[in-house]
Structure 1
Amino acid sequence: MATKKASKKSSKKSPSKKSTRSTSKKSRSASKKTSAKKSTARKSTSKKANKKSSSRKYGPSVGKNVEREMREMKRGKLKSGRSGKKVTSRKQAIAIGLSEARKAGKKVPPRKKS
């Protein structure tokens, strides 16, 4: 009940509080505007990352090679080149599919060198 009394008292003094509230709202909106300006500045610096290439990176037939290698891996028939061990990693199966597509001369970007 004490809160109700306090709210009644504050409602009587509302003209003086309204002026302080309106100024605080203005300062809040001003801070929002400045944060919006900062985010636009960040976006303009990362234009290179958003640049899209005009053509496909991988040819449509490359997906079939990768798909075939994934099936072999799931069945347990996919083996690595030199050692002949079974491939259990999904990433390794994709890498094998892409390298076979490169050897066949299909449209695949060059291998990343580390």
Structure 2
Amino acid sequence: MANKDKWSQDVTEHSDALDLEDHVFESDDPKHIARSLKASAENSERRKSDPYRSAMSMLTFYINRAGKNLPKEQKAVLEDAKDELRIAFGREPKD
């Protein structure tokens, strides 16, 4: 990797645990993001934890690493995707 500052982008694009849909975190549809992450986690044979935890970890990692560079609108979509992911896995969304 040429630029050490882009290590989180490299992790997102080349995760050893999940094969992510291209540009999934750029979607404006929280349900689409959740469905995509769920499918990636369930189809992965390389993940180290259960599918829910792997999917939620990747989403949280992306939100945290994007930080201040993430537009407010997209951060809201990604936060909503957390609840959609919980629902997709049969869990209660957080209040």
Larger Rg: 1 or 2? 1
Which fold has the larger relative contact order, with Cα–Cα distance below 8 Å and residues 6 or more apart in sequence? Answer: 2
